[in-house]
Structure 1
Amino acid sequence: MPAPGPLPELPAGQHTRRSLLDQGVTVAQIRRLVRNQVLVQIARGIYLHAPELVSAQPPPEPIRAAALLHGLSRDRPHAASHATAASLLGLFGQQLRLPVHVTSPADSAGIRRATGVISHVCQLDPLDTVRSDRGILLTSPVRTWVDLSLTASLRDSVIWADQLLRPPRPEFGDSSPQLAEPEDLWNALARRGRVNGLRMVRTAAALARVGADSPRETELRLALQAAGLPEADVNAWVFSDDGTPLFQPDLSYLRYKVCVQYEGRHHSALHQVERDVSRAELAADHGWKEVRITNRHRARQWQPAITRVAQALRERGWHG
C-alpha cells in the first residue's frame, strides 16, 4: 500500500469543507489534517487552522466562536445576531462566547444539529445586516438592539438605545461615531414586523434620547421622569445672554435654570475635580442651580436623587 503523500499547505484562518475542496484538498486529506491537529474541527464542515494555537487544545472560546461564525456566514445568508452580534460590534458590554446566536432567513436552509449554535429563523432585510472586519455577516447595530430588547427590561432597552444615539465627544477624546439616529430605531422596528415584546421596545424607542454619556445618566433621567418631574434636556449647551456657550450639563431644566450632573468615578481625579468646581462656579454666576448626583444617590431606585432634584426645581418655581 503506497505511503500517503505530504499534507497540503493551508493559509491560517477559518476554512469550510467546501472551501477546502475548492482548493484541491481531498476528503482523505481533510481527515488527515484533523487527525494531525493541523485543522481543528469547530463544527460539522467548519475548521480552523491556527498554527500558533496548536498547543492550546481546544483553542480559546472566542477563537472557536469566531471560526464557527465565519464558516456559517461565508457565502451563506446566516448572520450572527443577538448577544453574539453585539459582542462583534463592541456594544452593550457583551463578550464573544459559545454558544453563538445565528439568524437565518425563513426561505433558506436552516442550521441543523450545529453544536455551539443557538439558531433563530427570521427574514433579514439587507439594511439589517453588515459585514464585520473579520468578514462575518452580522446584524446591524439597530437590528441587534431590537433583537436583544425583545427579551430585555425596558430600562436596559433604553440604555442600549441611548448608547446607539450617543454622538462623539471630541472634547473628551472620544471620536467614536454615532451609530444611529432616532428614526433608525423606528425603521428597524418597522422592518422587524409583528413579534412578542415589540410594544415594549417601541416604548423604549420613544424614551431614548440623543446625548446620554453613560448608562447611569440614562437611569437617572428615566427615574426622574418616572417620578413625575419635568423632562430634562440631555447634554444641551447652556448659553449666556449674548449667546456664548457656557457649559453642557448632563441634564438641564432651562425654564427653572436647574442643571443636574452625575458624577461617576472618574470625577474623583484631581483634574476633573478642578473642572467640576469651575463649572459649578460658572453655573452659579449665571443664575443656575447645580445639583450634583453620585452613586450613593442611586439607593431605593434613585429616591435620594429624585428628592434633591425635585427640591431644587421647587425652589425655582416648579409646582409639581
Structure 2
Amino acid sequence: MSESDFFSHVTAARVHGLPMPFAVEHTQTIHVSTEEPTLRDRVLGVRGHHVAPKTVTVVAVRGVRVTSAVDTWCQLSTMLGLDDLIRIGDTLVRRKHPFAEMRDLLAAVRRYSGRRGVKLLREALIWIRPGVDSPRETDLRLLIVRASLPEPEVNAIIMSRTGVKLATGDLVFRRYRVLLEYDGGQHRTDENQFHWDVDRLDALMEERWRVIRINKSHLHNPPEVIRRVTVALMAGGWRPVAKAQKVPD
C-alpha cells in the first residue's frame, strides 16, 4: 500500500468493530481505496476502489489508515441490506462510546446524495435510534415496531415513585409499565451481574412493572415474542388501533 491508500468498506468495518453479517465479515477480500485515479486490483484477494478527492474522512485506528466509521457505513450501503445498515447505524450512535451523533449520520447521507446506495441509507436513518447497547437490542426493537406495537424508549432510566433510580431498561414502554430486557451471555456467566439483575427485577416488580426477559433463542420465534409483549402491553392498558375498513361503493 502506498501513502495514498487506505482500507475501506468491509475491511474498514472490521477494523472499527462494526457488526456485520457473518458471511460478509469473514470474507477474505481486502478492500483498499485511494484518491489516486490509477488504482487497480494489484494483488489477488484485494479489491481496489477509487474515491473522489475530499469525499471521505480517513482516520487512524491502532495505526491503521481506514475510512471513518460513518463513511464506512455509507460505503457499505452498496453491499448490505436495510437491517444490516440499521444495526451498524445504531452502533455508530450507541449509548457507550459512540462513534458519532445522529447529526453526523444525517450530514453524511446528505453528502452521499446522488450516489448508489443513498436511498437505502435514507431509509435506514428512519429506523436508527441513539442509545442502543447491542445489535440484538436493535433486532428486538425492529421486531416490535414492525408488528405495529408501540415504539419503546431505548435504554431509558426508570425511577421509583419516591424518585430513586431503579434501572436503565433496554426497551421501556413507560406508559404501560412494561420493560423488555435482552439478556446476553454476561447475564448468565457473570455472577455479580446475575445478582444485580435479581435485585433490580425485584425492585421493578415492587413498583408494578412487568418485566419480560428475552435471549437469543427467543428471537428465533418472533410470533411468541410478539405475543408476550402484546399481552403485557394490553394488561397495562394499551389497545391496538383498529384498521379503517373501506366502505363499499
For Structure 1 versus Structure 2, the TM-score category normalised by the shorter chain is 0.7 to 0.9
What amino acid is aligned across from residue 140 of structure 1 in structure 2? S
Change (3 A) 1:124 1:91: farther
Quote how far apart the aligned CAs of 1:193 are: 2.6
Cα distance, 1:317 vs structure 2: 0.7
Q: Where in structure 2 are there 5+ consecutive unaligned residues?
A: 241-249
2:58 equivalent in structure 1: 129
The answer to whether structure 1 residue 88 and structure 2 residue 39 are counterparts is no
1:180 equivalent to 2:87? Answer no
Letter in 1 for 2:173: Y
Decide whether aligned partners of structure 1 residues 87 and 124 sit closer, same or farther in structure 2, where only a CA change above 3 A counts. Answer: farther
RMSD after superposition: 2.1
1:158 corresponds to: 86
2:216 pairs with 1:295: yes
Q: Distance in 1 between matches of 2:102 and 2:53?
A: 20
Matched, 1:115 2:34: no
Paired residues of 2:41 and 2:48 also in contact (CA < 8 A): no
State the alpha-carbon separation in 2 of the partners of residues 126 and 153 from structure 1. Answer: 23
Identity of aligned residues (%): 33
2:177 to 257, 260, 266: 257
Structure 1 match to 2:66? 138
Seen in structure 2, the aligned counterparts of structure 1 residues 80 and 96 have a Cα distance that, compared at 3 Å, is farther
SS of match in other structure, 1:91 = coil
Distance 1:294 1:133 in 2: 33
Does the CA-based 8 Å contact 1:80-1:103 persist in structure 2?
A: yes
Tell me if structure 1 keeps the 8 A contact 2:177–2:236: yes
Map 1:1-320 → 2, pairs under 5 A: 71-72=1-2, 74=3, 76=4, 78-92=5-19, 98-105=28-35, 108-116=36-44, 117-125=46-54, 128-134=57-63, 136-168=64-96, 177-269=97-189, 270-300=191-221, 302-320=222-240
Equivalent pair of 2:39/2:50 in contact (CA under 8 Å): no
Report the 3-state secondary structure (helix = DSSP H, G, I; strand = E; otherwise coil) of the residue aligned with 1:236.
Answer: strand
Judged with a 3 Å threshold, the aligned counterparts in structure 2 of structure 1 residues 230 and 95 are, in CA distance, closer, same or farther, namely closer
Q: Is the contact made by 2:131 and 2:154 (CA closer than 8 Å) also made in structure 1? A: yes
The structure with higher relative contact order (CA 8 Å, sep 6+) is: 2
Q: Distance in 1 between matches of 2:40 and 2:184?
A: 47
1:62 alignment counterpart = none
Deviation at 1:126, TM superposition (A): 6.1
Rg larger in 1 or in 2?
A: 1
**What secondary structure sits across from 1:125 in the alignment?**
coil
Shift of 1:195: 2.2
- Tell me what 1:52 maps to: none
1-structure distance, mates of 2:51, 2:41? 18
Q: Give 1:243 shift.
A: 3.0
Shift of the alpha carbon at 1:157? 0.9
1:119-154 per-residue CA deviation (whole Å, 9 max, x = no partner) reads: 2223253662213332x4321000101111332121
SS at match of 1:237: strand
C-alpha displacement of 1:232: 0.3
Q: How many residues align?
A: 235
Structure 1: unaligned runs, 5 residues or longer: 1-70, 169-176
Contact 1:125 1:191 in 2 (8 A): no
In the TM superposition, what is the alpha-carbon distance from 1:98 to its structure 2 partner? 4.9
Question: Which amino acid in structure 2 is aligned with residue 99 of structure 1?
Answer: T
The answer to whether the 8 Å contact 2:90/2:128 transfers is yes
CA separation of 1:219/1:130 partners in 2, compared to 1, >3 Å: closer, same or farther? same
- Greater shift after overlay, 183-192 or 118-127? 118-127
